[in-house]
Amino acid sequence: MQLSQLSKAILISLLPATSVFAAGLDRSGQSISAFLQPGNYAEAGFTVLDPTVEGKDIAGNKVSDMGDDYYFPSAAIKVQATDKISLGLIYDQPYGADATYVTENSIFAEMSKNQGTHVEVRTNNITALIGYQPNENWNFYAGPVYQTVKGQVSLRGQAYGGPTKLGGYDINLKEDDAFGWIAGAAYSIPEIALKAAVTYRSEIKHELESSETFGFGSVIYPNSQTEVVTPQSVNLDLQSGIAKNTLAFANIRWVHWDQFAVKPAYLAASTLLVQGKAQNLIDYSDDQWSINTGVSRKFNDKWAGTASVGYDSGAGNPVTTLGPTEGFWSVGLGGQYSPAESYFIAAGVKYLWLGDAKAQTGGNVVGSFEDNNAIAYGMKIGYRF
């Protein structure tokens, strides 16, 4: 039950992204599993999420599905330069948001303008890694992380005070790039296919050039700075052989969301003047804890499969109106086909029961979102060289 044999066959037959609809803005789960593969390895994949997020506003009006579908790609390459040195590059989109409230009779839309509240956030990460393996059991790794962030938010409706207050507010956050770092260690016992890895990622601070407008563009502030600090995180990855051709695995993830806040300058000044308290555009009250665990099994030389269950705690409740869910439970199935020893094709699907949440703005609850769900599916191609 050598790790090198089992991991090549079934360890990477998971859904390409394990988080997909996690707490806060978390999406990819920031896995480095590709870098921990034996030998030289490359992969590319994508994940698609189709959420259904519906509810009622505080006035009792139905709020139709406001969760937009989205997809995100990922890629990685790892080279075993020498017996003791390995190099890697990983690309993913770790954080994001996509939501649009339908123009209807709810407090999240402005009927006269045929516009609903909308948010779109995009990030890109490139992680460079160098690993040192003093022996077959240990792997110590670290490296820089390059990250870009951009976003666009429109607030509409009486949930934000209507057109005379924040109900006609828009902000465009221009793309900014910044650097962070990653470090970790992995320990393995090949004889029992055991591997454990702990990985820390630093927070990354961005200063985004922003354009803020109020009253549907009637008041314009074209030049401001908005600070966004993407949070630090820790991933713990575990696996062990439990029977012939069978592995058990678990991923535990912590993300430091409880101090995360986006506070645009003129939005904060406007709400301080009117309400006596500066309002954040987005903030969270709790840290995120998540776990994904399951079993992978090799059926024969060409086929392997995976079954998993997952839990995500969310990042507090009430939550922002721009993402009104609190964590989830999930089940997933994945399959892997290897036409030859050097490459494979993997695909997977997950069903998620999204946690009920109260949506708030300015500290006031303005809606309730219950009994929602999502389905995620993805594909990955891997090659060993």
The confidence score (pLDDT) of residue 5 equals 52
How far apart CA 374 and CA 61 sit, in angstroms, is 23
Using alpha carbons, list the distances in angstroms from residue 175 to 128, 226, 228, 308, 379: 21, 11, 11, 36, 28
**Cβ-proximal residues to 86 (8 Å cutoff; 6+ apart), any chain:** 35, 78, 79, 80, 129, 130, 131, 133, 139, 141
How far apart CA 242 and CA 1 sit, in angstroms, is 9
**Cβ-proximal residues to 82 (8 Å cutoff; 6+ apart), any chain:** none
DSSP annotation of 170: E
How is domain 3-384 classified at the architecture level of CATH?
Beta Barrel (2.40)
Residue 245 has pLDDT above 50, yes or no: yes
DSSP annotation of 177: E
Query: In the Cβ-directed half-sphere of 96, how many Cα atoms lie within 13 Å?
Result: 26
How far apart CA 87 and CA 37 sit, in angstroms, is 11
Question: What mean pLDDT do residues 283-292 have?
Answer: 93
Residue 248 has pLDDT above 60, yes or no: yes
Minimum mean pLDDT among 101-105, 143-147, 229-233, 240-244: which range? 240-244
Mean pLDDT of the chain: 91
DSSP annotation of 48: E
More confident residue, 190 or 10: 190
Return the SS3 of 286.
coil
How far apart CA 31 and CA 344 sit, in angstroms, is 19
Confidence of residue 12 (pLDDT cuts 50, 70, 90): very low
The confidence score (pLDDT) of residue 381 equals 93
Residue 19 has pLDDT above 60, yes or no: no
Residue 6 has pLDDT above 60, yes or no: no
> What percent of the chain clears pLDDT 70, i.e. is strictly above it?
94
> Which ranges of the chain would DSSP assign to H, the alpha helix?
3-6, 265-275
H or E segment and range at residue 368: strand 364-369
Confidence of residue 20 (pLDDT cuts 50, 70, 90): low
Segments making up each domain of the chain, as ranges: 3-384
More confident residue, 184 or 299: 184
> What percent of the chain clears pLDDT 90, i.e. is strictly above it?
76
